[in-house]
Chain A
C-alpha cells in the first residue's frame, strides 16, 4: 500500500495548490507511473482538463493561455531539451515543473536560461520515479533490461546508463519512504555489486543531506540480487490469477491487451484493467489458483444473474425507482463480470490449445522433484508431441538443463539436438548461453534444494506428505531468502554488506531489488509472506516484470550482443 499511496500523495500535492484549469504534461515513463495509481475521473475532479505528452505538445501551435501547465517528467537530458524549447515559446499561462528525480545544477541553469518570458512558477523534485500497481511490488519498466547479463567491457556506456537508471529508481523509492537503508548485495553478481555501491555512494556521500532522515530503531535493509540466481521462476508456467494472465496474455501497467488473442469478436473491449486497488473481486482472487478462480467466478455470475432477474421484474413504482437508483452500480457489476469471464475463458482456451496441463506438470517435476531418468523420459515425450509449441519445448529443455546440468551429459546433448531439429525458430546455443549465465557454478542460492542438508530433508518430507496442488508446488528461491532474513540468518559470505555498513539483529523493513526483473509469482510470495505478520515487511522491486516470453527475449538479446561483442574484442 505504501508505495501506491506515496505516488498518489505526490500527485495530489502537485495539483492541489494550483487553482484553475490545468493541463498535465507527462513523458513516456511518468505516464505509466501516474496512470497506474490515478484515474482520469480523479484528474477531472482536480480540474485537470487536458493530459498531453511532452513530445507531442510542441507540435500544435494553439495558444491556450487560460490553462496552467503542470509538468511531471523525468529529468533526462532529452526532456530538458524539449522543455527548453517549450519555455522559450510558451503556450500556457503558467508553468509548474515537477521532476521525478534529482536535478543537476546544470539542468536548472539551462532551464533558467530559456525561461525568458518568466512563466515558470515553481521547480520541484517529487520522487515518484517508479511504477507501483500492487501493495508490495514496484518495477522500473526498463526497455533494455538485458544489459545486466552483459559484462561491462562489451558495452560500458550502456551498462552505465542501465546502472544509473536503477540507482535513480531505488533512490526514489527510499525518498518516497523517507528512509536510508543499510545495503547488501549478492556477491556473485557484478551488476548487483556495482548497483549496490553506486546507490551507497549516492545516499551516503553525494546527496547525504537529502537522505538524512530521522533514524528509526533498526535501519531498513536494501538487498540487491540478480535474476540469474533463480532462472527457474520466470520459465515456469503459472496457475495463479495475476501471474497466469501475465504469462499467457500479458499484463502491462495493470492493463491487459486482448488484441493479441485473435479470437475475440470486434465489439468486445480490446483492453481491460486488472487493478487490485479498484477491483474487489480481483483483489481477493489475484493469488488464488485457477480452479478456485473458476468457482468464484461462477458464484459471481450467479449473483449477477439474480440481480439482473430482479431488475427485469419491475412491477411497482418503487421497483422502478430502485432500479434507477441502482443503475450505475448494476452497470459496473455487469462490466466487471464480463471482464473476468472473458479473461478466464480466453486463458482456458490457451491452456487447452497448448496442452499446458501436461507441460506444466513436467515443468513442476523438473523444478521440484528428483529423478533424472524419469525427467529425461518425460521431456523427450513432450518434445516428440506435435501439439506442444516451440516456446514450451524450449522451456522444458532449459529447465532440464538447469536441473541436470552435470548429470548424464550424453542425454543432455541428445535433448539439445532434438530441440534444434524440432524448433527451427530458436537459435542454437540459447540453452548453452543460459547455462553460462545462470548455471550451477554461477548461482549462490540453493535453487533446487539439493545443496543444503536442511533443504534436502525438507524436500523428502514434502515428497512423503504429498502436495496439495501439483501445479503450484514450486516456491521461488526468493521465499528462502525472505525466510533467512526473517530469522536474521542471511549469510554474510553470500550477501555481503557494502563498505562498512552493518546491521545487528534483523531489520523491520526490507526492500529486495532484483536486477533483471521480478515475476508475479515472486510478488505473490512477498504478499503472502507479509500477510503472516512476522515482524518484517518486505517490498519487492525489479527492472521489469518478467514472463517467460520476456525472459527469453532478454536472453536472446544478450546472446546476440555477446556474440557481436566477442567479434569486436
Chain B
C-alpha cells in the first residue's frame, strides 16, 4: 500500500514562515532549534510502562510571540499513576506466570527427590500471582470515573484495556493450573497402575501362601488408595479455591470488558454514545442545579435564618426596654 510523506515539505514551509513571522527574534532562539522541538519543553514520551518520566511542570514563554506563547506542560492527572501501577503489576504477574510454567514442567518430570519443594514453589508462585491479580482488580475499580468529561472517557477506556489484560491473564492462569492438575493426576494414576501391575506380578507365583500374602498386599493397596484419596482431596480443595478466586475476578471484570464483535465494540457507536451521554450528563447537571436552587431546603434555611435575626432583635429590644 502506497503512502506519501509530506513532513519534509511541511517543515520547510514552517521554517520559512517562522523566519518571515519573527525576523527580529534573537539568534539564540534559532540556535536552539532542533528537529521540530519548539521553544516549549516537550514532555518526554509517556509510555504506560516507562517509569522514567520527566514530570517537570515548566512553563516557558516564547519571547517571540508574546501573547500566544506558553503551553504549560502540566502533570498528567493523578489517575495515570494508578493505571501505571496496575500495568506494572500485570507485567510482574506475567513474568511470574512464565516462572510458574517452568516450575510446572519441572514438577511433572520424573525425579528422584520427594518433589515437596517443587510443590511448595508452585504453591507460593500461584498464591503470589492470585494476590497480584486481586490487588490489580481492586485498584481497577478505583479508576472508575465520575462526571461526564473528556478525561473520564480516557479513564474509562484505560480501565477497559487493563480489564481485558487482567481477564486474559486470569484465564491463562486457570488453564495452566487445570492442565497441570490433569497431568499430575494422569501421572499418579499411571504410577499407581504400574505399582499395581508389579504387585500383581509378584503376587501370582506365590499362590501357596495365599491368605497371608493377600492380607499384606491388600493392606498396602488400601494404604495406597487412602494416600491417593487424601491427595486428591487436597487437589480438589486447591481447585475449588482457585476457581472461587478467579470466578470473582472474572465476574467483576466482565462488567468492564468489551464483548468483541458486538455493537459496543464499534468505534462509531462509542463516539455517538459519548456525545449523547455528555449531553445527558449536562442536562442532568443543569436540572440538579435548578432543583437545588429552587429547592425547598434553601427556602427553609433562609426563612429560619431570618427568624433567628428577628428573635435576636426582639431579645436586644427586650433588654433595652427592661
Contact = CB atoms under 8 A, between A and B. Distances in A.
A324 B178 contact: no
Given A51-B271, A117-B40, A118-B38, A21 B262 contact: no
Nearest to A103: B6
Given A44-B160, A49-B154, A93-B42, A255 B4 contact: no
B258 A40 contact: yes
A325 B46 contact: no
A146 B270 CA distance: 31
A126 interface: yes
Given A127-B1, A278-B261, A51 B270 contact: yes
A513 B70 CA distance: 51
Contact of A20 (B45, B161, B167): B45
A251 to B, nearest CB: 13
Interface stretch (B8-16, B122-130, B210-218): B8-16
B281 interface: no
A327 interface: yes
A222 B201 CA distance: 81
A532 interface: no
A66 B240 CA distance: 44
Contacts of B13: 108-109, 112-113
Nearest to A46: B161
B46 A21 contact: yes
A5 to B, nearest CB: 9
Contact of A65 (B73, B246, B263): B73
B17 to A, nearest CB: 5
Contact of B2 (A32, A67, A210): A210
Given A117-B38, A118-B37, A278-B260, A108 B157 contact: no
Interface in A1-55: 6, 9-10, 13, 19-21, 23, 26, 31-32, 34-35, 38-41, 43-45, 47-53
Nearest to B4: A125
B308 interface: no
Interface in B242-269: 243, 246-247, 250, 254, 258-269
Nearest to B10: A123
B178 A255 contact: no
A20 to B, nearest CB: 5
Given A60-B150, A324-B247, A273 B1 contact: no
A176 interface: yes
A21 B4 CA distance: 25
A89 to B, nearest CB: 8
Nearest to B65: A116
A49 B9 CA distance: 30
Nearest to A57: B150
B58 interface: no
A44 B243 contact: no
Contact of A21 (B48, B178, B246): B48
Contacts of A26: 271
B59 to A, nearest CB: 11
A38 B164 CA distance: 17
Interface in A88-138: 88, 90, 93-94, 102-103, 105, 108-109, 111-113, 115-127
B267 A34 contact: yes
B56 interface: no
A320 interface: yes
Contacts of A93: 42-43, 73
A491 interface: no
B259 A321 contact: no
Nearest to B5: A124
A99 to B, nearest CB: 8
B71 to A, nearest CB: 6
Contacts of A102: 4
B158 interface: yes
B13 to A, nearest CB: 4
A26 B175 CA distance: 40
Interface in B2-36: 2-7, 9-11, 13-14, 17-18, 21, 36
Contacts of A40: 258, 264-267, 270
B80 interface: yes
B174 interface: yes
Nearest to B177: A321
A275 to B, nearest CB: 8
Given A20-B46, A93-B42, A51 B65 contact: no
Interface string B55-86: 00000000001001001111011001000000
Contacts of B164: 41, 44-45
Nearest to B243: A321
B77 to A, nearest CB: 8
A118 B45 contact: no
A321 B61 CA distance: 61
B267 A255 contact: no
Contact of B263 (A38, A45, A113, A272): A272
B151 interface: yes
A259 to B, nearest CB: 12
A332 interface: yes
Contacts of A213: 2
A317 B47 contact: no
A273 B266 contact: yes
B1 A176 contact: yes
Contacts of A32: 268
A324 B266 contact: no
Contact of B6 (A10, A51, A124): A124
A19 B45 contact: yes
Given A121-B36, A123-B6, A321-B243, A50 B150 contact: yes
B38 A53 contact: no
A126 B3 contact: yes
A213 B13 CA distance: 29
A257 to B, nearest CB: 10
B114 to A, nearest CB: 27
Contacts of B194: none
B196 interface: no
B153 interface: yes
Contacts of B42: 93-94
B236 interface: yes
A175 B2 CA distance: 5
A21 B248 CA distance: 30
A178 interface: yes
Contacts of B4: 102, 124-125, 210
Contacts of B239: 317-318, 321
Contacts of B171: 325, 328
B266 A35 contact: yes
A452 interface: no
A178 B259 contact: no
B149 interface: yes
Contacts of A279: 261
B46 A66 contact: yes
A475 interface: no
A56 B317 CA distance: 63
A176 B2 contact: yes
Given A49-B161, A64-B154, A278-B261, A118 B2 contact: no
A118 B14 contact: yes
B297 interface: no
A271 interface: yes
A451 interface: no
Interface of B: 1-7, 9-11, 13-14, 17-18, 21, 36-38, 40, 42-43, 45-48, 65, 68, 71-74, 76-77, 80, 149-151, 153-154, 157-158, 160-161, 164, 167, 171, 174-175, 178, 236, 239-240, 243, 246-247, 250, 254, 258-271, 275
22 contacts: A35-B266, A39-B265, A40-B266, A41-B265, A45-B161, A49-B153, A52-B150, A62-B150, A65-B71, A66-B80, A108-B9, A112-B14, A116-B21, A120-B14, A121-B36, A122-B7, A175-B1, A255-B263, A269-B263, A321-B243, A327-B254, A331-B259
Pairs of residues from A and B, 3 with the lowest C-beta to C-beta distance, nearest first: A66-B76, A112-B13, A118-B38
Given A108-B6, A175-B1, 6 more contacts: A31-B267, A65-B72, A90-B71, A103-B6, A112-B11, A121-B7
